């Protein structure tokens, strides 16, 4: 005999299983009489289970059950249709105390369930002495649970993409295009704790986080320093004045929104601690407080002015301090792919070749904020598995995260943005990011979504998705260094050849040349393999982060020689050969050869091969010279500094391509033809009162990572420019700086 009852597993504290059938004659007749046997009085106290610790089907965290009835649980066989009921803890291997049991859902079972986000479970309890005595309990567990779920979690495709489209966008998310976070959550650290970002302190440099938000209020960590710009919160007046101030709250939710609280979303590192640094009230010098406050990773979904006026040598020093203190600085690469952030140039408005050829419109290594040598520059991917339309590209990109597109738009083709936290109060009269969208107007779910948004996007959204993954990695390896984190992200990323990720494929981009130079240029090489066997592209860096693979690699870092090597910071090696650059056509084509590398700290010659961590090219002396054959616009770029000069700079630097080749013959595009660049060494020299071009202006190239070069090897760089380059001045202070590890 089977009796079915329906209970909601998580909505009440106690679940009593009544076994009226356990009396021996409850299901059958008697031995010698045709009269029905009287049914015994049910005994409700034989098995009484209560949940003493809630679990989580999305991480495999077990529910802990206690039987306070009169019978021993060992007298019963207890089986689940989907999950597993066991007396052994699934992660620690420890045996449960007497009359305790664990219930959990294996990851593979969850993956293959009909509804990934909710499971209707059936628990069958059978007496070991009489198999006819059976009870079946049915209940639902998952995201929709009122006290232990996350009802808006189902919309977070960046964590688990099953093709869901609650947004009513034209192009639904493509199933499988996500960060493989669920697998990471099912892994355990060295202490047998599930990976969740536990004990990781995350600093968020952004607009202030709403510290009263229901999914963030329990996640905020306030350091002892008590600085005035830390965890300031967001007032209603500020939101009503300008709702973009909620940017930092959306960023925070992607990283660390609380899980299993019956509310909203969940963060990638849902057990991490968040500290909000209000960028609106900070100076550059305040950035160092992040080190003093014990932050283990920093998220910067922000950008200063992307023009050369944003040059500031302080920033390089700050970045170096973070690096030396092993604090990863994860930063948004920019959103200027098809919309340059320079609006006063007469020389590109009518003819954006970058848009025509689908290459980067603005060179994003002008601002000092974008040029940190070991900063983890992050590009954005959309829900279709393609680079987000706005996401900046370049040789400096390290990794790609999930940034989405623009969400629901009634007037254009649309695909999903990112779902995250917004504000703790549903204010009337404020500029709601999601006003009028089907997602917000849904009558059934609108109440659950009212403090959240489906419109977060940009590399601003992609960056916290990487910071969330980094937090999981840091939990797996708390003593991790920045080079180890960079190595793990790069070597575990999904690229165009990863199964299920052919959406990342794209062809190299060839653009028509400029009259008098070449017929054509390869402005984007597409995907290619470097000399160490790693795939790279200027669109995606080393690929899209894979949280599960990254955590596994972090757990095994010490057994990986290249990862183990990076427990120490790299040394710097600088090229020292004199006059490396030459030209045979009056500075329109300039070839530079860099060799004779020495240790930058003590000038000692290298004796063995060096494994590359990072390569930078100093361009502080890249200036132009007069040539009667050049267009008139070229002369404007080196005249006195004024608006006409600016226009000339835009023109001349747009019509320049810079390529670099490693000793292992790996080619890389540093600056593409037709990408607008307002770089002016003369302006920097004048503004900062340098006597010569002896300052540092490093642009970065990620693509040679883990390649090796010998003491006799050379790097080469080629400039091709419509306007003539002053080769003599260029030779004053051009060099290559390599961060790397000399093999001993």
To the nearest 10°, the Cα dihedral for 696, 579, 654, 512? -140
**CA angle at 614 for the pair 339 and 707, rounded to the nearest 5°:** 115
Indicate the pairing of strand 134-142 with strand 4-6: parallel
Pair of tokens at residue 225: 């320093």
Q: How far is CA 24 from CA 20, 40, 409, in A?
A: 10, 9, 65
| Burial per residue of 549-566, b for 16 or more beta-carbon CB atoms within 10 angstroms, e otherwise | bbbbbbbebeebeebebb
Cite the active site residues. Answer: 206, 247, 460
With H, G, I as helix, E, B as strand and everything else as coil, classify residue 613. Answer: strand
Pairwise CA distance, residues 694 & 407, whole Å: 47
Pairwise CA distance, residues 512 & 655, whole Å: 11
Residues in the chain: 744
Decide if 449 contacts 432 (C-beta within 8 A).
no
Contacts by residues 100-103 (CB-CB < 8 Å, ≥ 24 positions apart)? 100/64, 100/65, 100/66, 100/67, 100/73, 101/49, 101/64, 101/65, 101/67, 101/73, 102/62, 102/63, 102/64, 102/65, 103/55, 103/62, 103/63, 103/65
- DSSP states of 110-156 as a string? HHTSSSTTEEEEEEEEEESS-TT-EEEEEEEEETT-TTT--TTGGG-
Q: Enumerate residues 6+ apart whose C-beta is below 8 A from 526.
A: 506, 507, 508, 509, 537
Decide if 684 contacts 690 (C-beta within 8 A).
yes
Q: How far is CA 8 from CA 15, 126, 234, in A?
A: 9, 21, 37
The CA radius of gyration of the chain, in Å to the nearest whole number, is 30
Q: Enumerate residues 6+ apart whose C-beta is below 8 A from 376.
A: 328, 329, 330, 331, 398, 399, 466, 470, 485, 486, 489
Pairwise CA distance, residues 315 & 424, whole Å: 34
Pairwise CA distance, residues 248 & 717, whole Å: 40
Decide if 257 contacts 216 (C-beta within 8 A).
yes
CB atoms within 10 A of CB 80: 18
- 16's enclosing H/E stretch is strand 14-16
Q: How far is CA 557 from CA 200, 479, 614, in A?
A: 19, 11, 20
Pair of tokens at residue 359: 């290459």
With H, G, I as helix, E, B as strand and everything else as coil, classify residue 497. Answer: coil
DSSP one-letter code for 686: H
Decide if 724 contacts 627 (C-beta within 8 A).
yes
Pairwise CA distance, residues 103 & 130, whole Å: 24
Query: Among all chains, which residue has been given the structure tokens 């060494």?
Result: 681
């Amino acid at each position: 005999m089977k009796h079915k009852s329906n209970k909601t597993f998580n909505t009440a504290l106690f679940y009593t299983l009544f076994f009226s059938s356990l009396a021996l004659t409850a299901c059958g007749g008697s031995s010698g009489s045709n009269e029905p046997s009287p049914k015994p009085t049910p005994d409700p106290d034989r098995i009484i289970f209560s949940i003493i610790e809630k679990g989580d089907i999305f991480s495999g965290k077990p529910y802990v059950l206690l039987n306070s009835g009169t019978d021993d649980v060992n007298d019963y066989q207890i089986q689940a249709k989907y999950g597993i009921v066991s007396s052994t803890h699934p992660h620690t291997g420890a045996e449960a105390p007497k009359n305790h049991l664990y219930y959990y859902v294996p990851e593979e079972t969850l993956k293959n369930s009909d509804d990934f986000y909710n499971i209707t479970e059936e628990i069958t309890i059978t007496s070991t002495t009489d198999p006819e005595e059976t009870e079946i309990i049915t209940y639902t567990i998952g995201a929709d649970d009122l006290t232990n779920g996350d009802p808006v979690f189902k919309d977070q495709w960046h964590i688990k993409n099953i093709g869901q489209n609650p947004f009513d966008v034209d192009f639904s998310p493509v199933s499988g295009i996500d960060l493989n976070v669920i697998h990471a959550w099912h892994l355990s650290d060295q202490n047998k704790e599930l990976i969740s970002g536990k004990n990781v302190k995350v600093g968020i440099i952004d607009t202030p986080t709403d510290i009263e938000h229901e999914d963030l209020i329990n996640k905020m960590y306030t350091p002892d320093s008590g600085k005035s710009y830390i965890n300031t919160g967001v007032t209603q007046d500020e939101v009503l004045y300008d709702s973009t101030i909620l940017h930092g709250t959306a960023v925070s939710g992607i990283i660390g929104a609380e899980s299993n609280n019956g509310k909203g979303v969940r963060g990638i590192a849902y057990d991490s601690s968040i500290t909000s640094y209000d960028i609106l009230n900070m100076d550059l010098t305040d950035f160092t407080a992040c080190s003093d406050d014990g932050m283990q990773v920093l998220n910067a979904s922000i950008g200063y002015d992307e023009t050369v006026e944003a040059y500031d040598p302080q920033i390089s020093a700050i970045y170096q301090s973070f690096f030396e203190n092993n604090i990863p600085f994860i930063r948004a690469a920019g959103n200027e792919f098809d919309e340059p952030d320079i609006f006063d140039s007469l020389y590109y408005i009518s003819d954006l070749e970058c848009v025509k050829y689908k290459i980067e419109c603005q060179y994003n290594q002008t601002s000092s904020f974008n040029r940190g040598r070991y900063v983890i520059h992050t590009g954005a991917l959309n829900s279709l598995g393609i680079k987000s339309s706005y996401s900046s590209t370049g040789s400096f990109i390290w990794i790609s995260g999930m940034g989405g597109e623009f969400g629901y738009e009634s007037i254009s083709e649309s695909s999903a943005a990112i779902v995250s936290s917004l504000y703790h109060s549903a204010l009337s009269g404020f500029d709601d990011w999601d006003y009028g969208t089907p997602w917000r107007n849904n009558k059934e779910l609108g109440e659950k979504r009212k403090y959240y948004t489906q419109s977060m996007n940009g590399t601003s959204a992609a960056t916290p998705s990487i910071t969330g993954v980094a937090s999981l990695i840091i939990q797996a390896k708390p003593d991790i260094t920045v080079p180890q984190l960079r190595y793990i992200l790069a070597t575990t990323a999904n690229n165009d050849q990863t199964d299920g990720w052919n959406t990342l494929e794209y062809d190299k981009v060839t653009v028509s040349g400029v009259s008098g130079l070449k017929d054509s240029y390869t402005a984007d090489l597409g995907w290619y393999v470097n000399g160490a066997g790693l795939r790279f592209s200027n669109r995606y860096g080393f690929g899209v982060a894979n949280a599960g693979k990254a955590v596994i690699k972090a757990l095994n870092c010490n057994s990986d020689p290249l990862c183990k090597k990076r427990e120490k910071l790299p040394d710097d090696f600088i090229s020292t050969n004199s006059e490396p650059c030459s030209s045979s056509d009056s500075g329109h084509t300039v070839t530079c050869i860099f060799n004779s590398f020495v240790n930058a700290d003590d000038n000692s010659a290298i004796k063995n091969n060096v494994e590359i961590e990072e390569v930078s090219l100093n361009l502080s002396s890249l200036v132009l010279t007069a040539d009667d054959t050049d267009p008139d616009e070229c002369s404007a770029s080196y005249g006195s500094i004024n608006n006409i000069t600016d226009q000339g700079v835009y023109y001349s630097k747009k019509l320049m391509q810079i390529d670099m080749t490693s000793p292992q013959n790996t080619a890389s595009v540093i600056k593409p033809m037709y990408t607008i660049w307002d770089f002016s060494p003369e302006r920097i020299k004048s503004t900062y009162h340098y006597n010569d071009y002896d300052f540092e202006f490093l642009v970065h190239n990620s693509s040679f990572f883990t390649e090796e070069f010998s003491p006799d090897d050379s790097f080469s760089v080629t400039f091709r420019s419509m306007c003539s380059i002053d080769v003599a001045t260029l030779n004053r202070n051009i060099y290559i700086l390599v961060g790397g590890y000399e093999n001993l």
